[in-house]
Amino acid sequence: MTTAVLPIPPRLAVRAELRSVALAGNPNSGKTTLFNALTGLHQKVANYPGVTVERKSGRCLLPGETVATEIIDLPGTYSLIASSPDERVTANVLFGRQDQVRLPDAVVVVIDASNLPRSLYLVTQLIDCGRPLVVALNMSDIAARRGLVVDHAALERLLGVAVIPMVSHHRRGLADLMQALTCARIPTRIAWPLPQALLTQMQVLGAVLGTDAGGIGGTAHHLLIGDLEGELGNVAMTHAAALAEASRALAAQGVDAVEADITARYRWIDTVVEQVVVRQPSAERRSLTEQVDRVLMHPVLGLVIFAVVMALVFISVFWIAQPLMDGLQDGIARLGTFITAHLADGPLKSLLTDGIIKGVGSVVVFIPQIAILFLFLAILEDSGYLARAAFLMDRILAKVGLHGKSFIPLLSSFACAIPGIMATRTIENRKDRLATILVAPFMSCSARLPVYILLIESCFYPVLPARYQAVGKGLIMLACYVLGIVAAGSIAWLFRHSLLRREVRSSFILEMPSYKLPQFSEVARQMWVNSSKFLTKAGTVIFAFAVLLWAAMYWPRLPPAQERQISAQVAAAPSEDQHITLHERIADAQQSAQISQSYAGKFGHAIAPALAPIGADWKTGIGLVGAFAAREVFVSTLGIVYGVGDTDEQGTGRLSAQLQRDHRANGLKVWSPLAATSILVWFVLAMQCMSTVAVVRRETGGWGWAIAMLVFMNVLAYVSCLGIYQIGSRIWGG
């Protein structure tokens, strides 16, 4: 069979004005990087496939145009015959199958110069589409490093459309691409060397379907290779008999239409690659990557390295962030002291210092930790290392019945379960996808981080050796993350052996991205996006709750007679602790009494019986309930509970010191390491985030799974805490 390229008709200048341009291409080919460069937006970019799962759009003014063109970023796909929800989005846009969305006026196909054959497969399908096309030959830098030179002029001749060499993260080639877009051409149909039997059946079926349906890329072609998406499904249904007849005829001649189609395209691609790719002898870099991968992706050593890397990340969060956090705490304390000194006593002063500074302030001090954690994750992500970790995890995921493609969604869930759950759209099978959605919220999201840090920082130092505090704290934090992962694995295993049983496991093909020097701008952006999300939350939900909670603790006021009575009682009792002055002891006692009889206190006491068995007292209880609004509210609540009424100079002191001062009636610490462990476990396992529940409802198409997840996770969390606290307190006595 020979490759025939049909004669190219005179160049067709498409339209004077482009209203919309879609960016298509393989996963991880750099579409979003190009999209951001064109539109000036900041969509997420990362060095692994499957980052973009939704259609995103922005605007760009192309040269010589007066109206900005809509640029559409699409999820990556290897083929237009979609098999997963995200690929369907791409196919629907490119084929104009989405309601109310018009066909893009032109398509930019972003291809990876370092992996031409695979990229060209999608190009062959786009040529069939018949939309004006421009090829962005991206990653030219990586190709060059590997000793591959792509003759873009030759490729342009063979494809019949403009081919622009690019390095999109350096904006190289951007101007040329924009220029080329303004005169994008419809590619010439290429006669893929399809077997005669298939061509004949396409024509026979095409004749039944109507005009123009029998050619290459026509409706008959799509139906025969099993593309039944959108309206094609209806066509297949209406013409079921003719379709069955054509398929039977092909089977009789021993032709598998899908396989024949792929083979023909690759045969054509091989001849193209032969003509345009020039290999140069410097394949050195490639072997370096291979050597590095041999170590990093070793089935045992690789996992050990991954565990060490993650442990180092957590330990450095404590190490590096500590001085910054101390500085912030001092600053906030000084602000409190300033207000205390300059405002008259009363509700306003109390609201500002006790409610807002202690509530919101106690959460804001965690900004350094959040920023540093995301800095490290972004570096690991952009370098290409995390994709290797995904590959290592595939075998482990397989053991618990999860799909290899579950790794990226689970990984994203460490920032927040919501994008994680959205990322499951890359998973084709519904049961695989559902299993991943249900366990994603067990991954410790950034909202849990302040709670983890506060409790680890304040409650565990008695059990950690003095010289290894940071290491110990880092490891406890790692343990929290690992607990979430183990819970997710066990639950997934349970589901896969009951409700979501499935015998066949789809194969997992994850393409290893090349190692890259992390982009400073991208790393900084990731850090900024996550930190600012955190700050926004502090300024909205957490702020609102702080005010609400402050009010609920400030009123009703303790009657003056009772205040005097408490002072007298404290003054009469002998002091146990020499470091605390009488004045402080009176203030502490009055504060406890005030909160205890406030609205919030009454609420806390009402729920206390349910919480005592897991080691939480009524004050913690208020925090646990508040955490259903946002997990960080737990920290702000403790900040307020331990601060209200305490308006003397020392009152603005560290929250962790105040937690340590709190004792139960029986003289034991409220925040013993055991009680803290129990509450940590609650935060790892409980489902407290209503936005996640709403997203699960949307992605699973009903309330059923969402409510089941909410109930299940919270029951699991409660029972686990109960076990830990009850058994632990029998062994260590509280």
Residue nearest to ligand GTP (CB): 76
Of residues 30 through 49, those in contact with Mg ion by CB under 5 A are 31-32
Measured CA angle at 486 (ends 482, 488), to 5 deg: 115
The answer to whether 508 and 321 are in contact (CB under 8 A) is no
Binding of ligand GTP at residue 28 (CB under 6 A)? Answer: yes
**Minimum distance of ligand GTP from residue 23's CB (angstroms):** 8
Q: DSSP letter string over 133-187?
A: EEEEEE-HHHHHHTTEEE-HHHHHHHHTS-EEE-BGGGTBTHHHHHHHHHT-BPP
Binding of ligand GTP at residue 46 (CB under 6 A)? Answer: yes
Binding of ligand GTP at residue 167 (CB under 6 A)? Answer: yes
Residue selected from 18, 20, 22, 50 as contacting ligand GTP according to rule CB under 6 A: 50
- Kindly indicate which of the ranges 46-54, 410-418, 529-537, 692-700 contains the residues binding ligand GTP, using the contact rule CB under 6 A: 46-54
Instruction: Give the residue with the Cβ less far from ligand GTP, 77 or 353.
Output: 77
Structure tokens at 362: 């106690």
Binding of Mg ion at residue 51 (CB under 5 A)? Answer: yes
Residue selected from 20, 30, 591, 682 as contacting ligand GTP according to rule CB under 6 A: 30
Instruction: Give the residue with the Cβ less far from ligand GTP, 138 or 369.
Output: 138
The answer to whether 298 and 33 are in contact (CB under 8 A) is no
The most distant pair of C-alpha atoms in the chain lies apart, rounded to whole Å, by 105
Binding of ligand GTP at residue 33 (CB under 6 A)? Answer: yes
**Minimum distance of ligand GTP from residue 513's CB (angstroms):** 7
Helix axes 633-641, 543-554, angle to 10 degrees: 30
CA 23 – CA 136 distance, rounded (Å): 10
Of residues 296 through 325, those in contact with ligand GTP by CB under 6 A are none
Instruction: Give the residue with the Cβ less far from ligand GTP, 354 or 381.
Output: 381
Helices (H), 239-355: 240-252, 257-276, 284-296, 301-342, 347-350
Site string for ligand GTP, 73-112 (x = CB under 6 A): --xx------------------------------------
Nearest to 662 by CA among 606, 607, 623, 630: 623
CA 610 – CA 196 distance, rounded (Å): 75
Count residues binding Mg ion (CB under 5 A): 4
Helix (H/G/I), strand (E/B), else coil: 6: coil
Of residues 168 through 197, those in contact with ligand GTP by CB under 6 A are 168-169
CB atoms within 10 A of CB 508: 15
Nearest to 724 by CA among 488, 471, 439, 483: 483
The answer to whether 424 and 436 are in contact (CB under 8 A) is yes
Residue selected from 436, 444, 519, 720 as contacting ligand GTP according to rule CB under 6 A: 519
Instruction: Give the residue with the Cβ less far from ligand GTP, 30 or 450.
Output: 30
CA 531 – CA 514 distance, rounded (Å): 28
Q: Which residue has the tokens 């869930």?
A: 413
CA 443 – CA 645 distance, rounded (Å): 37
**Minimum distance of ligand GTP from residue 74's CB (angstroms):** 8
Instruction: Calculate the alpha carbon distances from 723 to 61, 615, 678 in Å.
Output: 62, 11, 9
The answer to whether 424 and 437 are in contact (CB under 8 A) is yes
Binding of Mg ion at residue 52 (CB under 5 A)? Answer: yes
- Kindly indicate which of the ranges 167-175, 236-244, 535-543, 616-624 contains the residues binding ligand GTP, using the contact rule CB under 6 A: 167-175
Q: In this structure, what is the dihedral angle of CA atoms 141, 144, 146, 151, given to the nearest 10 degrees?
A: 120
**Minimum distance of Mg ion from residue 424's CB (angstroms):** 16
Instruction: Give the residue with the Cβ less far from ligand GTP, 46 or 676.
Output: 46
Residue 167 interacts with which of ligand GTP, Mg ion, none, CB < 5 to 8 Å by class: ligand GTP
Structure tokens at 392: 């290592």
- Local structure of residue 356 (DSSP, 8 states): I
The answer to whether 126 and 99 are in contact (CB under 8 A) is no
Of residues 3 through 32, those in contact with Mg ion by CB under 5 A are 31-32
Residue selected from 118, 189, 286, 516 as contacting ligand GTP according to rule CB under 6 A: 516
Q: DSSP letter string over 466-533?
A: GGGHHHHHHHHHHHHHHHHHHHHHHHHHHHHTTTT--S-------PPPPP-PPPHHHHHHHHHHHHHH
Instruction: Give the residue with the Cβ less far from ligand GTP, 470 or 512.
Output: 512
CB contact set of 608 (below 8 Å; sequence gap of 6+): 617, 618, 621
Binding of ligand GTP at residue 52 (CB under 6 A)? Answer: yes
**Minimum distance of ligand GTP from residue 308's CB (angstroms):** 24
Peptide bond into 556 cis (omega under 30): yes
CA 143 – CA 139 distance, rounded (Å): 6
Instruction: Give the residue with the Cβ less far from Mg ion, 51 or 198.
Output: 51
Site string for ligand GTP, 663-702 (x = CB under 6 A): ----------------------------------------
Residue 27 interacts with which of Mg ion, ligand GTP, none, CB < 5 to 8 Å by class: ligand GTP
Of residues 374 through 393, those in contact with ligand GTP by CB under 6 A are 382
The answer to whether 592 and 586 are in contact (CB under 8 A) is no
- Kindly indicate which of the ranges 87-95, 475-483, 514-522, 541-549 contains the residues binding ligand GTP, using the contact rule CB under 6 A: 514-522
Instruction: Give the residue with the Cβ less far from ligand GTP, 168 or 720.
Output: 168
Count residues binding ligand GTP (CB under 6 A): 29
Instruction: Give the residue with the Cβ less far from Mg ion, 89 or 379.
Output: 89
Residue selected from 20, 115, 138, 598 as contacting ligand GTP according to rule CB under 6 A: 138
Contacts with Mg ion, residue ranges (CB under 5 A): 31-32, 51-52
Contacts with ligand GTP, residue ranges (CB under 6 A): 25, 27-33, 45-47, 49-52, 75-76, 138-139, 141-142, 166-169, 382, 516, 519, 522
